Structure 1
Amino acid sequence: MKLFRIKVCGVTSAQDAALAASLGADAVGINFYKGSRRHVPVSEAAPIVAAVRGKAVPVAVFVNELPETIESVCRLLKIDMVQLSGHEPPAAARRLKFFRIKAVHLRDGSELNLYGKYPCEAFLLDTSVPGEFGGTGKPFDWGKIEGMKPGKPWVLAGGLTHENVAAGIKTLHPDGVDVASGVEAAPGKKDQNMLRSFINNAKEAFEYARKH
Structure 2
Amino acid sequence: MTSVKICGLTDPDLVGFVAREGADWIGFNFAPGSPRRVTPQAAATLLMQVGRARPVALLVDPDDAEIDTIAALGFPVLQLHGAETPGRVAAIKARTGLEIWKVLGVAQRADLDGAAAYTAADRLLIDAKPPEGATRAGGHGQVFDWTILDHWTAPGPWMLAGGLTPGNVAAAIAATGAPAVDVASGVERIRGLKDRDLVRAFIRAAKQP
TM-score by length of 1: 0.90
Residue 35 of structure 2 corresponds to residue 37 of structure 1? yes
Partner of 1:210: none
Helix, strand or coil at the partner of 1:71: helix
Deviation at 1:19, TM superposition (A): 1.0
Structure-1 separation of matches of 2:12 and 2:25: 13
Q: Percent identity?
A: 35
For 1:112 and 1:143, the matched residues in 2 are separated by 12
Residue aligning to 1:117: 117
> 1:29-178, aligned counterparts within 5 Å?
29-53=27-51, 55-75=52-72, 77-96=73-92, 97-118=97-118, 119-129=120-130, 130=132, 131=134, 132-178=136-182
How far off its partner does 1:71 sit? 2.8
- Alpha-carbon separation, structure 1, partners of 2:25 and 2:98: 15
2:125 aligned counterpart, secondary structure? strand
Q: CA deviation at 1:117?
A: 1.9
Higher RCO (CA-CA < 8 Å; seq separation 6+): 2
Bigger shift: residues 29-38 or 106-115: 106-115
Q: Gaps (5+ residues) in structure 2?
A: none
CA RMSD of aligned residues (A): 1.4
State the alpha-carbon separation in 1 of the partners of residues 151 and 88 from structure 2. Answer: 30
Q: Does the Cα contact within 8 Å between 2:115 and 2:155 map onto a contact in 1?
A: no
- Provide the secondary structure at the position in 2 that maps to 1:21: helix
Aligned-partner Cα distance in 1 for 2:190–2:59? 21
Q: Deviations over 1:144-186 (max 9, x none)?
A: 1122112111100000001110011111111210000110122
Contact kept in structure 1, 2:27 and 2:56, CA below 8 Å? yes
Q: Which whole-Å CA distance do the structure 2 matches of 1:84 and 1:115 have between them?
A: 14
Structure 1: runs of 5+ lacking an equivalent:
208-212
Runs of at least 4 residues of structure 1 off by over 6 A?
none
AA in 2 matched with 1:114: G
